[in-house]
Structure 1
Amino acid sequence: MTSKPEITKLNDAISVSPQLELEHVAALAKAGFKSIICNRPDAEEGDHPRSDAMAGAAKKSGLQFAYVPAVSGSITDQDGEKMAAALANLPAPVLAYCRSGARSTKLTEMAQASSAKTPSKSSRFNVVVVGGGSAGIATAASMLKRNKNISLAIVDPADDHYYQPGWTMVGGGAFSAEFTHRKEKDLIPARAQWIKSAVSSFDPENNSVLTADGQEVGYDVLIVCPGIKLDWEAIDGLPDTLGKNGVTSNYRFDLAPYTYRLVKDMAGGTALFTQPPMPIKCAGAPQKAMYLSCSKWESQGVLNNIDVQFHNSGAALFGIKEYVPALMEYIERYNAHLNLESTLVAVDGPARIATFEQKQGEETKRVEVKFDMIHVVPPQMAPDFVRSSPLAAESGFVDVDPATLRHTKYANIFSLGDACSAPNAKTMAAVRKQAPIVAVNALAALDGKPPVADYDGYGSCPLTVERGKVVLAEFGYGGKLLPSFPNWLIDGTRPSRLSWLLKDTILPPVYWHGMLKGREWMVRPHRIGAE
């Protein structure tokens, strides 16, 4: 056992120490620390645990972790600002470490000086929207179209905005990555104020949120939609090998093109596709990646040379039984091996070995599988600042009534999109339906009235079973089928070229020029009590 680190307490919120080892982490949790910051770069010379390994150890012990590397002798003002942001976002007490502890001490001093120079700012709005993704912008746009006189702020630190349903198509060679990208500044509604910062905490008793840069933002009504956290670190070895060694994922903008590169260059070998436990955004996306890859290999005449395996943590290929027969036809057509209750737990990129925990009868066994390429979908959870907040349900997501999307405790708080606890499929189509419902209910709350619209759980998953055909799954709460088109036009349970046209050509402009502009084509809110 490595000796205990020499911990120096700088104040009640932060202490520093020399290099930590993996075995120190559990003891730090027992000692009362809530968070760890690593200030030592992974590439720095020496035999020390890398940040991803420390992050994994911290997670297992219930600690938060941040990686804020700084080069010894070359610490910059930007390093100090990053340290300040990390300290603002992490629960205290925090332990920061580097090789000797000196850099961590210096960075803490710089962070505190930076905070002292930046006075706390406060502002207040009728409506504050946390999150500038599809849910946040669509809801803000819908509200401002209905009432131009409200003051509304969107809090989000991102410079870039993505049409994430397009990433499956990027990985399948149908879209370019840039086709899915816009600048956030070009999408914020004209009458909304953009607070370009991250939310660090909620204070619902005082109707305010606190941002990472020290702003206190008050509200009359709060709408929480910051999306979902992709937990790449939950799979051992994955962060170090993503984007190389045949390891890819369509769940990241920068990796989806690598998926297509791997697919079109593959002439034989083993291709693995994985799906983690629910909940995840777009539950059909893991198998969409497989179908489009197989379609490409089929067209290139190499499919028979490839061992295709789909490893799904769940017990069924798809959660709505009406769509399973059509999907199984493609599983058989592509000769894909379906492995249910098989969960990816580790990836050794250089050795090209994936480790799965598979349920076999009453036992769960670890199985290693060699691969030439693997498409990974990481486990997903509510963002950290939501999970640790008074807004969270037991699941970690924002606790809402599934019909009105209003918080179960706070009548002036609503949530939608991937961050809310409603048991619908987490898809873009769900957000498109939810946004106008939250808009009218939030405006009613501003007037002191109860919610006026309800949500039926609608979600859609256009399952791209081959290049040019889609099984258009549309459903709501309880698995009820909710087709948007008459059966004679589109039978959603069967593959359709018209559904591909919808996915490929119609939905992207509907997103950019309709949904994000507050245009509610085919998703007008359903009034409570109406037929």
Structure 2
Amino acid sequence: MATKVLVLGGGSGGLVAANKVKRLLGKEVEVTLVDRNTHHEFMPAYPWVAFGMREPEDIRRPLANLEKRGIQYLQATVEALDPAHNKVKTTAGELAYDYLIVSLGAEAMPSPAPDGHAPWSMAGALRLREALKAFKGGKVVVGVSSPYYPCPPAPYEVAGQVEFALKVKGVRGKSTVEVFHINPAPLAGMGPVISGKVLEILKSKGIAFHGEFEPVAFEGGRVKAKDGRELSYDLLILVPPFAPNRVVRESPLAGPQGFPEVDRMTFRSTRFPNVFVIGDTVNPALMLPPAGVVAHFQGEYVAGVIASDLKGAYIGEPFNPVAMCIMDFGDNALLPQCAFDRVLAGTGMPSCGVMAVGKWVRVTKMLFEGFWFATLIE
């Protein structure tokens, strides 16, 4: 009888994990992926939708395509986890499993700025697109509302892309673009080399950066910081706050802070050995960035661990602790890389550096978009 592997979440980590475990074990496993959405969307391309470089249909594929790969897809919302009895409650009924991979992501909270735009969802990207069409020039401010949010480079990329979009629109001369962040420097956790390079690119585009700017109020077209500083804006782009996923937070997997407790080297639950948690659902608790590339590598790794469990010998691959991110600034791009092996081992900070800078780097992101769909869901 086939082993039942249940994957919760059709984002980066879940999609990779489902494909990998099926490729490794074939008919030995019955793989089911559950997601409330009908489509998988290439999230790094949301800003491209906002700035008119892509249409929604360009960056999404039906999750039902997984059926062609021997993976069952169930459209349902996960309501509760019962790891003590190997069951998951969904809006489509109760599901049993032998192995569970949880990749439900983080939970977006209400934005503290009702007039803010957040192009980190399809709806948010389309809303910003309409706002940019009507924008005739003025003050653009990009910022974050909390230190915890998916894709740490996102606000800097969007600031660069909106600056480029204003150039194309012909209103750059009548506009200013500013970025604020709670941290003292861009991508401070990646070290001074990457921070310095991001600051250099922002400066070259005439974008001002405001560090250690902790927003406490948004009113009347102004954002106020805890230390008294203020920025005025005509167009606000704000990353909303995120919290640990509610379903996981309320489950027996969760620790005191709401994040699941897992082994740092295997992402296996410390309480339930047949449960793995990957991606934004757990990474902040592991001091790993909540980024798609990390979830991608975690998905590959836990699929190998499950295959090894069933085969009785290790047949997977070592976890790849190196994360790369193509930061698209519109008319320039940066490719930073960080190794997180010391972070996972609890022995130090990540080792980071710059792999490449230049307009051509943007092309690699576009090529990867096509590769992603072709290898996972087409």
**Aligned residue number for residue 474 of structure 1:** 337
What's the C-alpha RMSD, in Å, of the aligned pairs? 2.6
The corresponding residue for 2:272 is: 410
Q: Secondary structure at the match of 1:466?
A: coil
Q: Which has the higher helix share?
A: 2
Whether 1:336 and 2:207 are equivalent positions in the alignment is: yes
Aligned mate of 2:373, from 512, 518, 526: 512
SS of the residue aligned with 1:376? Answer: strand
The change in CA–CA distance for 1:225 and 1:284 in structure 2 (over 3 A counts) is: same
The structural deviation recorded for 1:231 is 1.0
Instruction: Give the 3-state SS of the residue equivalent to 2:143 in structure 1.
Output: strand
Q: Corresponding residue for 1:137? A: 15
Deviations 1:458-504 (A, max 9, x none): 3222111232x21011212132237xxxxxxxx62x52233111012
How far 1:164 sits from its partner (Å)?
A: 0.6
Matches within 5 A, 1:28-107: none
Q: How many angstroms apart in 2 are the aligned matches of 1:380 and 1:325?
A: 27
**Secondary structure of 2:123's match?**
coil
Residue type at the aligned position of 2:172: L
CA pair 184-354 structure 1, distance change in 2 beyond 3 A: farther
CA distance in 2, matches of 1:157, 1:388: 19
The correspondence for 2:162, drawn from 293, 298, 301, is 293
Query: CA shift at 1:177, angstroms?
Result: 2.8
Q: How does 1:40-439 map to 2 (within 5 A)?
A: 126-149=4-27, 150-188=29-67, 190-213=69-92, 215-233=93-111, 235=112, 237-238=113-114, 241=115, 247-263=116-132, 265-300=134-169, 302-318=171-187, 319-320=189-190, 321-348=192-219, 351=220, 353-358=221-226, 360=227, 365=228, 369-421=231-283, 422-439=286-303
Cα offset, 1:159, TM superposition: 1.8
2: CA distance, partners of 1:448 / 1:329: 51
Letter in 1 for 2:12: S
CA distance in 2 between counterparts of 1:160 and 1:465 reads 27
Matched to 2:22, the amino acid is L
In structure 2, the residue matched to 1:95 is none
Contact 1:354–1:369, Cα closer than 8 Å, also in 2: yes
Question: SS at the partner of 1:341?
Answer: coil
- C-alpha distance in 2, partners of 1:188/1:419? 25
Count matched residues.
364
Separation of aligned partners in 2, 1:251 and 1:354:
22
Contact kept, 8 Å, 1:412 with 1:445, in 2: the verdict is no
- How many angstroms apart in 2 are the aligned matches of 1:299 and 1:251? 22
CA distance in 2, matches of 1:137, 1:436: 10
C-alpha offsets along residues 381-436 of structure 1, whole Å, 9 cap, x if unaligned? 22211111111234423322232221222211112122123332222222332222
Specify the SS of the correspondent of 2:177. strand
Distance between the aligned counterparts of 2:145 and 2:68, measured in 1?
35
Question: Hey, what does 1:77 align to over in structure 2?
Answer: none
* Deviation of 1:305 (Å): 2.6
Q: Give SS of 1:514's match.
A: helix
Q: Is 1:140–1:189's contact at 8 Å kept on the other side of the alignment? A: no
Is the partner of 1:226 in helix, strand or coil? coil
**Maintained 8 Å contact 1:264/1:297:** no
Give the alignment partner of residue 462 of structure 1, picking from 296, 315, 326.
326
Identity %: 21
Where do 5+ consecutive residues of structure 1 fail to align? 1-123, 242-246, 483-490, 518-531
Partners of 2:68 and 2:155 in 1: CA distance = 33
1:294 CA drift (Å): 1.2
CA separation in 2, counterparts of 1:501 and 1:404? 34
Q: Secondary structure at the match of 1:232?
A: coil
Aligned partners of 1:134 and 1:516 also within 8 Å: no
In the alignment, is the contact (CA less than 8 A) between 2:146 and 2:240 conserved in 1? no
TM-superposed deviation, 1:448: 6.2
User: Which of 442-451 and 285-294 deviates more?
Assistant: 442-451
Q: Distance in 1 between matches of 2:68 and 2:83?
A: 25
Tell which has more relative contact order, 1 or 2 (C-alpha 8 A, sep 6+): 2
In the alignment, the residues of structure 1 paired with residue 335 and residue 118 of structure 2 have an alpha-carbon distance, to the nearest angstrom, of 23
Q: Which amino acid aligns with 2:143?
A: T
| Distance change >3 Å, CA 254–CA 160, structure 1 → 2 | same
Aligned-partner Cα distance in 1 for 2:110–2:66: 28
Rounded to whole Å, the distance in 2 between the matches of 1:445 and 1:269 is 59
> Helix, strand or coil for the counterpart of 1:481?
strand
Amino acid at match of 1:509: G
Letter in 1 for 2:95: V
Which structure has the larger Rg over C-alpha atoms?
1
Q: Deviations over 1:240-270 (max 9, x none)?
A: x4xxxxx322112022134344445534321
Q: What's the TM-score once normalised by structure 1's chain length?
A: 0.63
Contact persistence 2:35–2:76 (CA under 8 A): yes
